[in-house]
A and B are shown apart, each in its own frame.
Chain A
Amino acid sequence: MTREARIGVTLGGLLLLLGVAGPIIAPDPLAPMSGPLLHPSLANWFGTDQFSRDVFARVAHGARISLGVALIAVAISTLIGTAAGLIAGASTRSGSAIASRCIDLGLALPRVVVLLVLLAAVGTLPLPLFAVVLGLTGWPGIARLVRGETLRLRHAPFVTAAEALGANTGRVLWREIFPGTLGPVLVAATLGVADAMLLEAGLSYLGLGVRPPHPSWGGMILEAREYLGAAPWLLLAPGVALGLATCAATLLGDALRRSLQPDAK
């Protein structure tokens, strides 16, 4: 494993540990501690916030939320995107053409814009719905990738061989082409986790994503704005956590991509 991959796995593992074990060993994220805006200490590892809540507990719970939202979103966009891409690349008949146009349209709509327009119209979204909506906006990227791979594989000799043996399009698609797309899809999904985390954090930072009482790293950074001078740990704890999480996902995605295409740098 390259050094990058090792760093990515280590970071990812640490954060996973934080998300899984953290909330167990940490105090209640909503319960007030000894006082507001306390420095990090042995009692409160990351200090306390303006409501005397333990910051470490909030960061740990935030890990669960960020990761959970990102995974749900990626699962949805990968499913839809793969299906759309396969259909679009499968043939030149009308069904595929329509799917292809849909993908092109989806690509023309910047994800941030769609999310903001949706949020402007609807307002607050409950957390699971937010994750779903995040996923529903992320499929065009994966779809384009899968469409490209499908088109490429369609002309591969082993596909022609299967067709010559009498397999119909659907079967060929499922048994021959789809497995060939799994590699790139995995890479895209991993990078998609980074993307989703980024978007969720960003939207929470704008006050539009994950709302209180759920703790989220983005939301914590938003709250930290007022106390930058007095209590920088309010920014640094979630900020560093978020940075490490997205770095881990990006490094893993890059490492996966490199292992699947040994010639690419």
Chain B
Amino acid sequence: MTPLLEVDRLRISFPRPGDAPLVPVDDVSFALAPGELLALVGESGCGKTLTGLSLPRLLPAGAEIGADSSIRFNGQEITGLSERELRAIRGRRIALVFQDPMTSLNPVMRVGRQIIEAITAHQRVTRSAARERAIALLTEVGIADPATRVDEYPHQLSGGMRQRVMIAMALAGEPDLLVADEPTTALDVTVQAQILELLDRLRASRGMAVLLITHDLGIVAGRADRVLVMYAGRIAESAPTATLFRQPAHPYTRGLFASIPRLDATNARLPTIAGSVPRPDRWPTGCRFHPRCPVAIPHCSVERPPLAEVAPMQRAECWVAQGEHA
């Protein structure tokens, strides 16, 4: 089956005059099959949001995609497309859901109008037909009384409802891929579960692939098909969800799991990963995690490990995981 999305050696850099460029995303490669839910997990600053934004090419001003980076969607190379051609893709093939529903909705525009805007951006429909569709979308995302809600302003809706509206807008173009950047971070825990369930349902009913970007390992379990763990602009580990949770290979992933509080823990102190996330202008040499790694060997500070297979379908960018010893 042809992958829906193939990202090859993605490199995002910010040139700085008189200084070396900032490279917050460095050589990231992954593929996504149609209907698959891929989770991109990492702490803030690891480059996961930029990776997500690079797909519809909505990077901030000054960002450059590497010359030999390639993003292929449905077999078509999209890195070289013009702005006009990209607009045909945005919303229609690749849709984005943002983190903060408070500020991601235009406060002076009615919710229905914003959804209709998303619809008419890609299809020619009459006003009434668009409105019908908007109401249908609101129903699909689980908003009660959609016929009334459609004429309301964002400030009249709760956080959870606003996020559902965002999802409805994202679905308006019938996209093949939905990129959800921390879709539940700004919401209460109970609402989080509902939104995730919604995404799951939509994925099943529409056959839509989802790239779920998050820092929360917890929401990934039981939902994602595969997980990519990102650290310092690179992919540290990639594995099917069950495998990752059962036997994390990369020391960073292990550290993440160890630091999740457990109800049955007996010791009083919560384990943490020593040190802090490096800054994009000061990536460590060799393996970027080595200064904080509990099992680092001398080779780690010298040469960067490749993302190689350490178990069936599981890859980790770690010398130790790949079988090396001190």
Q: Do chains A and B touch in the complex (CB under 8 A)?
A: no
Which residues in B have some Cβ–Cβ distance to A below 8 Å?
Answer: none
